[in-house]
A and B are shown apart, each in its own frame.
Chain A
Amino acid sequence: MDNMVNIFLFGKKYEVPDNLTIMSAMEYAGYQLVRGCGCRNGFCGACATIYRIKGEQELKSCLACQTKVEDNMYIATLPFFPLVKKVYDIEKIAPTEQIMMQLYPEIYACIGCNACTKSCTQELNVMQYIAYAQRGEYEKCAEESFDCVMCGVCSARCPAGISHPQVAMLARRLNGKYLAPASEHLENRVKEIKDGTFTELIEALMQKPIDEIKELYNNREIEK
């Protein structure tokens, strides 16, 4: 028999095995999830959840698929949060400080409370990446925010109304497109393909009898 714990889903008590994640505990209790469940592996941010352990003051946040239940856990899922997503044409913007001021001016209203960082389900230094965004240091903002799953908990806790995940998203795209060095070998290869450099080789493979391709495959030279 499993060890059982009491949890409270939206205030209602259920007894569940203690080795379950919050997500599987909800299913054990009888919920057929539609919202609040995506990849079930910590990558998609669909299952942002807040909880408080009975008797404790602190309201904690987590991903339901990545967190084990605890005894006397009061749980509320947060399957959607209305983040502010500004639209822009990636081809027409530039990685300048002004672009953040234009699109996400509220980041400059950050009061430094650090609630975002404390609530991050990925344990990222959210306030720090917002600081980098304020200064137009997009490469640093991109790196610091890279593991963000855009669950939105940080924004739910922010007194300044910042949509941190969207700010970071913009910074990463600016960095990926404009700031990271261009890949010459990639440009060259795309051009070679357009020029037909490999056409003959590929056409030969399209016609080759299977046995000859097997011969090629089984005797490939494998790069060390």
Chain B
Amino acid sequence: MYPERFTESIKKVEAAREKNISLEPARMTAQEKEDLLKAYHPDYKENEFEVLKIGPNKGEKVPKELAAILQAHSRITADSVNLEKPDYDVDVLIIGGGGAGASAAIEAHEAGANALIVTKLRIGDANTMMAEGGIQAADKENDSPAIHFVDAFGGGHYAAKRELLSKLVCDAPEAIKWLNELGVEFDKDENGRMVTTHGGGTSRKRMHAAKDYSGAEIMRTLRDEVLNRGIPVVDFTSAIELILDDKGNAAGAVLLNMETEELLVARAKTVIIATGGAGRMHYQGFPTSNHYGATADGLVLGYRAGAKLLYADTLQYHPTGAAYPEQIFGALVTEKVRSLGAKLINVNGEAFMHPLETRDVSAASIIRECSDRANGVDTGNGLGVWLDTPMIEKIGGEGTIEARIPAMMRMFAKYGIDIRKEPILIYPTLHYQNGGLDISDDCMTTKVENLFVAGEAVGGIHGRNRLMGNSLLDIIVFGRSAGKNAAAKMKDVKLGKLTLSHVDSFEKEIKDSGIETNEVSPKLLPDYRRKEEDK
């Protein structure tokens, strides 16, 4: 039940529901999309970006908040850590315990490598766990990896590195098969055909799902497999600097026990950064759908060690974050809600856009509706538009919501909103880091030898925008590939003397360029404690 102040608008939504269900809003033309993005997408707000003064991407712009942590002081100095007696000595060090890290660990272990996962929270505390909607793969008869490629390449504004994208789409069916054989429960019909739907910007129904717990189902299965294999997982332990050897190759990491603050040293022949995204940086003050640890740590670690970033100036704002009630402000409302037929409706009951445009276009369109067009709903905590969930039951029949999106039903039911009968309020939320570390198609960084990257910390797989379901896919495809390649590469690695001299050099660069900052990075966790000025 909504408070009375929403009643008038809800009545309009209800009155127009039948008409809006049968309406097929026109898709925007390429030109319309371009104009819309330039005017309303947060990536185009020039004053929210800053040009980097130091490091491999010197001269390029990134979000202000990211610039602050990329050009910040290390938590250590080179001489404050004894590298002579490592606490861990392994073949493959995997930093991050999400879907990419777990996939990498399983494949490295399969290849016979001695692998170690370190993670600053627990294994599985990751954006993977929260991915609701699904995972793409072109495995139906009317589809092909080539069609998948065109959808993703166009959706990403033709900016993806083609060799990465072709790997993504060509390895996709195999990734689904691998997950299924590990025991992931995909939605299937009685004959075994995968139940697949559209996502924004797809031209074929290739979204595979496990209800709306798709990421959780994948993550808990991968975690179970990591544990079954006895792969060691050091939890509540973050990586705070990479260690290089005297040839400048990656050779381990300095670790921090998050509870005791003890420093530890992990030596490794190859290192995989699988640290995920950056939602908790709250770029431009946006709320986020991301997990607690999404603070772009891997980008900081890699950057200081000399790795290059690609498209670090582009973020994904998921069009449908919860806008009401405020307890779940910014939480993800899966795109699958729209895949199942719910449309976006403004305060007057009008379906103002096609519900399945790509995410950047949808987010920009919602922002326009709530700003210049003044057709937003006042939530009491900002603005939003309706996502008319009862349409799903009308289209798919009663019970569709409970069967297909139970997590969404539960999330709103906790606050007394029955999404089967009442629409929900949404507004864009910071969801995904499109950019990241630049890699070749073997997952190794283009600048630092023996440093591999997988998952959301990679830049260039999707270009400047990502389609729904291609991230769960990339963590599996590139996670597995990084694990295999790091395990193969370590066989030829003869580690030289370990060093942290790059940490001191970077500090010197900060000083020489005149940057004045008190910031220390990586950030590791956001600080949500009540601030002194609010007391």
Q: Is there contact, CB below 8 Å, between B129 and A176?
A: no
Residues of A within 8 A of B150 (CB): 205, 213, 216-217, 220
Residues of A within 8 A of B163 (CB): 206
How many A residues face the partner with a CB closer than 8 A?
Answer: 70
Q: Is there contact, CB below 8 Å, between A186 and B173?
A: yes
Give the residues from 32 to 70 in chain A that come closer than 8 angstroms, CB to CB, to chain B.
Answer: 32-35, 37-44, 46, 66-68
Give the contacting residue for A180; candidates B125, B188, B204, B525; CB below 8 A: B188
Known interface pairs A24-B528, A177-B180, A214-B30. Does A42 touch B411 (Cβ–Cβ under 8 Å)? yes
B144: CB under 8 A from chain A?
yes
Q: Is there contact, CB below 8 Å, between A202 and B185?
A: no
CA A190 to CA B175, docked complex, whole Å: 9
Residues of B within 8 A of A43 (CB): 129-130, 213, 215-216, 407
Residues of A within 8 A of B328 (CB): 41
| A-B complex: 9 closest residue pairs judged by Cβ atoms | A173-B183, A217-B154, A181-B192, A38-B125, A176-B185, A176-B183, A201-B146, A177-B183, A189-B139
Give the residues from 211 to 252 in chain B that come closer than 8 angstroms, CB to CB, to chain A.
Answer: 211, 213, 215-217, 220-221, 224-225, 227-228, 230, 236
Over the window 171-208 of chain A, the binary record of Cβ atoms lying under 8 Å from chain B Cβ atoms (1 yes, 0 no) is 01111110011111111011001000010011001100
Q: Is there contact, CB below 8 Å, between A38 and B121?
A: yes
Sample of 10 more A-B contacts, CB < 8 Å, known A172-B183, A183-B186, A186-B137: A39-B129, A90-B183, A90-B225, A169-B224, A173-B182, A181-B191, A186-B177, A201-B145, A205-B153, A220-B147
A81: CB under 8 A from chain B?
no
A75: CB under 8 A from chain B?
no
Over the window 141-163 of chain B, the binary record of Cβ atoms lying under 8 Å from chain A Cβ atoms (1 yes, 0 no) is 11011110111011000100011
Q: Is there contact, CB below 8 Å, between A173 and B145?
A: no
Q: With both chains docked as a complex, state the minimum distance between the C-beta of A189 and any C-beta of chain B, in angstroms.
A: 4
CA A221 to CA B151, docked complex, whole Å: 11
Residues of A within 8 A of B186 (CB): 176, 180, 183
Give the residues from 188 to 202 in chain B that come closer than 8 angstroms, CB to CB, to chain A.
Answer: 188, 190-194, 198
Residues of B within 8 A of A133 (CB): none
Q: Is there contact, CB below 8 Å, between B198 and A223?
A: yes
Q: Is there contact, CB below 8 Å, between A176 and B291?
A: no
Q: Which of the candidate stretches A5-13, A106-114, A144-152, A154-162 sits at the interface with the other chain?
A: A144-152
**23 A-B contact pairs sorted by A residue (CB < 8 Å):** A28-B530, A34-B525, A38-B125, A39-B292, A41-B291, A43-B216, A44-B216, A85-B227, A88-B228, A122-B410, A146-B217, A186-B173, A189-B139, A193-B173, A202-B146, A202-B149, A214-B30, A216-B154, A220-B151, A222-B203, A223-B198, A223-B204, A223-B205
Known interface pairs A147-B410, A180-B192. Does A38 touch B291 (Cβ–Cβ under 8 Å)? yes
Q: With both chains docked as a complex, state the minimum distance between the C-beta of B260 and any C-beta of chain A, in angstroms.
A: 11
CA A79 to CA B229, docked complex, whole Å: 25
CA A28 to CA B146, docked complex, whole Å: 51
CA A208 to CA B407, docked complex, whole Å: 42
* Residue from A27, A31, A88, A176 having most chain B Cβ neighbours under 10 A: A176
Q: Is there contact, CB below 8 Å, between B170 and A193?
A: yes
Q: Is there contact, CB below 8 Å, between B203 and A220?
A: yes
CA A87 to CA B139, docked complex, whole Å: 32
Q: Is there contact, CB below 8 Å, between B194 and A183?
A: yes
Q: With both chains docked as a complex, state the minimum distance between the C-beta of A61 and any C-beta of chain B, in angstroms.
A: 14
Q: Total contacts A to B, CB within 8 angstroms?
A: 216
Q: Is there contact, CB below 8 Å, between A27 and B216?
A: no
Q: With both chains docked as a complex, state the minimum distance between the C-beta of A20 and any C-beta of chain B, in angstroms.
A: 8
CA A32 to CA B525, docked complex, whole Å: 9
B36: CB under 8 A from chain A?
no
Give the contacting residue for B203; candidates A21, A30, A185, A221; CB below 8 A: A221
Q: Look across to chain A and name the residue whose beta carbon is closest to the beta carbon of B192.
A: A181
Q: Look across to chain B and name the residue whose beta carbon is closest to the beta carbon of A166.
A: B224
B345: CB under 8 A from chain A?
no
Q: Is there contact, CB below 8 Å, between A27 and B154?
A: no
Residues of A within 8 A of B198 (CB): 223
Q: Look across to chain A and name the residue whose beta carbon is closest to the beta carbon of B331.
A: A41
A142: CB under 8 A from chain B?
yes
Q: Is there contact, CB below 8 Å, between B180 and A176?
A: yes
Residues of A within 8 A of B184 (CB): 176
A72: CB under 8 A from chain B?
no
B38: CB under 8 A from chain A?
no
Residues of B within 8 A of A68 (CB): 327
Over the window 92-130 of chain B, the binary record of Cβ atoms lying under 8 Å from chain A Cβ atoms (1 yes, 0 no) is 000000000000000000000000000001101100011
Q: Is there contact, CB below 8 Å, between B141 and A185?
A: yes
Q: Is there contact, CB below 8 Å, between B258 and A34?
A: yes
A19: CB under 8 A from chain B?
yes
A218: CB under 8 A from chain B?
yes
Q: Is there contact, CB below 8 Å, between A39 and B191?
A: no
Residues of B within 8 A of A147 (CB): 213, 406-407, 410
Q: With both chains docked as a complex, state the minimum distance between the C-beta of B1 and any C-beta of chain A, in angstroms.
A: 15
Residues of B within 8 A of A185 (CB): 139-141, 193-194
Q: With both chains docked as a complex, state the minimum distance between the C-beta of B122 and any C-beta of chain A, in angstroms.
A: 7
Give the contacting residue for B185; candidates A142, A184, A201; CB below 8 A: A142
Over the window 415-450 of chain B, the binary record of Cβ atoms lying under 8 Å from chain A Cβ atoms (1 yes, 0 no) is 000000000000000000000000000000000000
Q: With both chains docked as a complex, state the minimum distance between the C-beta of B85 and any C-beta of chain A, in angstroms.
A: 27
Residues of A within 8 A of B209 (CB): none
CA A40 to CA B130, docked complex, whole Å: 10
Q: Is there contact, CB below 8 Å, between B174 and A190?
A: yes
Q: Is there contact, CB below 8 Å, between B227 and A87?
A: yes
Q: Is there contact, CB below 8 Å, between A46 and B204?
A: no
CA A205 to CA B368, docked complex, whole Å: 35
Residues of B within 8 A of A172 (CB): 183, 185, 217, 221
B72: CB under 8 A from chain A?
no
Residues of B within 8 A of A42 (CB): 407, 410-411
Over the window 384-416 of chain B, the binary record of Cβ atoms lying under 8 Å from chain A Cβ atoms (1 yes, 0 no) is 000000000000000000000011001100100
Give the contacting residue for B158; candidates A27, A30, A213; CB below 8 A: A213
Q: Is there contact, CB below 8 Å, between B146 and A205?
A: yes
B166: CB under 8 A from chain A?
yes
Q: Is there contact, CB below 8 Å, between B291 and A30?
A: no
A210: CB under 8 A from chain B?
yes
Q: Is there contact, CB below 8 Å, between A37 and B292?
A: yes
Q: Is there contact, CB below 8 Å, between B154 and A213?
A: yes
CA A27 to CA B529, docked complex, whole Å: 5
